[in-house]
């Protein structure tokens, strides 16, 4: 379990307001319930009710749950996850969880930086003089292209 990846995952989850605090020791031993909870939380960040399975009682349910979440995250965010690493739910799965967390964080940062009202206020349509110059430039480009061919 790389310490740097675990620390980055903790920071991303904190930034995304994950409801629990994750200890660095959480993935020293396999911890499938925590991985399942995180996958479900990630899925609800993409859709309010994704309708994915949540049962983790036996091996078949766990495999089905992991597979459904991996397919859902691939369809929603185009992130390829390794289901074997997620099923292992040890230090190997931190990199996979970090992929999803970092994409959510980037989306959240982009949403904070984007202010639609400012964009609408700063946009000014081109003046008639600018349009006339653009049309003249376009005519010149067409003439030059015709000369070349």
Q: Residues 88-102: pLDDT tens digits?
A: 988 889 999 999 999
* Residue 11, pLDDT score: 93
What is the pLDDT averaged over residues 73-87? 93
| Tokens read off for 52 | 């994915």
How far is 126 from 23, CA to CA, in rounded Å? 55
**117 has a pLDDT exceeding 70:** no
Percentage of the chain lying above the pLDDT 90 cut: 50
Residues near 56 by beta carbon (within 8 Å), at least 6 away in sequence: 32, 33, 36, 62, 65
How far is 148 from 119, CA to CA, in rounded Å? 41
Residue located via tokens 């009202």: 117
How confident is the prediction for the chain on average, in pLDDT? Answer: 88
**8 has a pLDDT exceeding 60:** yes
């Amino acid at each position: 379990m790389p310490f740097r990846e675990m620390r980055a995952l903790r920071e991303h989850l904190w930034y995304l307001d994950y409801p629990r605090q994750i200890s660095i020791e959480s993935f020293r031993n396999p911890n499938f319930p925590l991985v399942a909870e995180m996958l479900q939380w990630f899925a609800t960040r993409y859709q309010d009710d994704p309708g994915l399975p949540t049962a983790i009682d036996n091996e078949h349910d766990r495999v089905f749950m992991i597979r459904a979440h991996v397919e859902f995250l691939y369809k929603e965010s185009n992130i390829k996850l390794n289901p074997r690493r997620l099923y292992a739910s040890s230090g190997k799965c931190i990199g996979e969880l970090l992929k999803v967390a970092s994409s959510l964080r980037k989306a959240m940062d982009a949403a904070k930086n984007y202010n639609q009202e400012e964009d609408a206020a700063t946009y000014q349509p081109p003046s008639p003089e600018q349009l006339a110059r653009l049309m003249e430039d376009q005519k010149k480009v067409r003439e030059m292209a015709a000369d070349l061919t």
